[in-house]
A and B are shown apart, each in its own frame.
Chain A
Amino acid sequence: MTGSSDTPLVNILNVEKTFGDGGGFLSTAQPIVKALNNVSLSIEKGDSFCLVGESGCGKSTLARTVIGLNPPSKGEIHYQGTRIDSLSAKERQPFKRKMQMIFQNPYASLNPRMTVAQILEEPLKIHEKGMSKGAIKQKVEEVMVSVGNDPAWGPRYPHEFSGGQRQRISIARALMLDPEFVVADEPISALDVSIQAQVLNVMMDAQEKRNLTYLFITHDLSIVEHFGSKVAVMYLGTVCELADVKDLFDAPRHPYTQALLSAIPKMDGSGVNHIKMSGEVPTAMDLPSGCVFHPRCPYANERCRRDIPTLADNGNTKTACFAVEEGRV
């Protein structure tokens, strides 16, 4: 059970997730959407593991699968060596307090009919049944202060706060149970740029003080560079490149990552010759054969159209690409 140095904190093994089904009695068939295809990642303790990719590539689905909001269709999720995706709700309860989540939209993630104090007390009421009222109040105050909130906000309602303040309340809720692992699903993309940095600092601060591990989802690459330690690039439900942040930004190797990084605007104007990609992202209801990226990849050949590449250690980064393996890039 105890995480020794070689068991990762969170291990995602060959996870697949499909939505929709072929229909049954009195229900119409819905198209099957393959949101995640054979995703394997391991997150070490202390990591700020970033997940990047464009809209609809399955980042959020992966996060929700890890935290237990959507059970995986196939594959396993391990937490400190214990498989957690197959546990019953009751057996999973001790893991719930170790794994928490920060949501994207601070306007929807706080219950509009509950006061800030009620929202923050809920986790303690569920997991710390014997805790006295005074102790709960003290804990709420302590966490509020640690994320830069005024404890006097307690009796007020979420609509009285700005986006950044709400997101800090949301972070406070995630920290109430002293978790080890926090999933943050685009926690700052709904915020004003001037507030983004502030919220990011609160999160980095919490990581330092509480020894947290983050799974951080974003589509903002500059945040990855600033915040992350490891990064996985996703495209259409598959991980196409996995690397340390520094290595990835120094030398991206997967053609998709290269295109993605070249799209970052640069101050000196050198970014104008970015790699232009043709076509649209195919729909997840009808995945391309072989490598999912091949219809838009400038290096694609017959093998890419036929076989599915797997993440392989080649060079400084792990890539799922035949062109990289064969040295064609």
Chain B
Amino acid sequence: MGKPHSEVSGAKIMTRIKSFLNSDFVYRFRKDKVAVVSLGIVLVLVLSAVLAPLISPFDPYDLKSIDIMDSEIPPVWDENDGDERFLLGTDPQGRDMLSTILYGMRISLMIGFFAVLLQGILGVTIGLLSGYLGGKIDAFFMRLADIQLSFSTLMVAIITLAIFQAAFGAELYSKLAIFMLILVIGIAEWPQYARTVRASVLAEKHKEYVDAARVIGMSPARIMFRHIFPNTLSPILVISTIQVANAIISEAALSFLGLGMPVNQPSLGSLISSGFEYIFSGSWWITVIPSFFLVLLILSINLLGDWLRDALNPKLYKD
């Protein structure tokens, strides 16, 4: 009984994949060189970050493998001092830069992804509620969003994190830093989602399919999440890519200011920050190489987001 069913659904999935690969969406993606290259870069970076424990030559969290005598070795292409063990050199603590960057990117991406997930859940729920129910609920949440948008994200985050750092003490804070960053960045940016979703809901809720759902006698919650929400997905998809990039930037900025990830568990931002002190003593690679990876990651995500926005907006056909 179960087997033929799974075979049928397997065949269904295959035809779905085939029709997806033949769709306009994929065709236009293939024609856009920038989009293909950025997707390639993002995939390589994300994969290498996810697989960091498997592919990186050292474990930067393993204190035993770190030798202080190896500190500040320049990258391998420096013929005088380069060490072939350390492809991209080492940092002041003697950690291999390549491994540290891979692990750091892992943390940056994780914070970016989960912060955006939190923003999305908050923002989509609030946006659906205010758009569909309107009235006082709408007025309340949208004024709240206006107020929150009048503070810059970084300002709110710096104040909140500084207070927590003082309250928890540096040691406890360094353990909780990753959760705090996700929470602060997640809560700080929900209005972006809420406003976008609300705008789409306002356009959707006057369509007749919503009236039809009401005539059938569906509950407002079911109408909102099952009927309207799927029709607001394309703008959500577009802002999600851009928000991931923004969240990574925010995290890097906060870490650079010393409010983010601790030195023993560095993200890209804290790596850049820790190398900054050594940049005038000639150890440029500690700051420049992680910066390069950060810029590469953000740029590719943003280019991908731009392409997605164009692709999902039929009014912007370019050719």
Contacts and interface: CB of A to CB of B under 8 A. Distances in A.
Interface of A: 26, 64, 67-69, 89, 92-93, 96-97, 99-101, 103-105, 108-114, 122-123, 126-127, 170, 173, 177
A101 B215 contact: yes
B215 A67 contact: yes
B209 interface: yes
Given A26-B139, A111-B227, A111-B231, A173 B217 contact: no
A99 B215 CA distance: 8
B212 interface: yes
B230 A113 contact: yes
B interface, size bucket: 10 to 19
A69 B214 contact: yes
Contacts of A177: 216
B217 A110 contact: no
Interface of B: 139, 207-209, 211-219, 222, 227, 230-231
A268 B208 CA distance: 40
Given A109-B208, A111-B213, A173-B212, 11 more contacts: A26-B139, A64-B211, A67-B215, A69-B215, A89-B217, A101-B211, A103-B211, A109-B207, A112-B209, A114-B227, A122-B216
Contacts of B208: 103-105, 108-109
A104 B227 CA distance: 19
Given A26-B139, A112-B231, A113-B231, A93 B211 contact: no
A111 B218 CA distance: 14
| Interface pairs A-B: 8 shortest CB-CB | A96-B217, A109-B208, A113-B230, A103-B208, A111-B209, A108-B208, A101-B215, A123-B216
Nearest to B207: A108
7 contacts: A99-B215, A101-B211, A111-B230, A111-B231, A113-B230, A114-B230, A173-B216
Contacts of A111: 209, 213, 227, 230-231
Nearest to A158: B209
A111 B223 CA distance: 11
A129 to B, nearest CB: 12
B234 to A, nearest CB: 11
A163 to B, nearest CB: 14
A96 B216 contact: yes
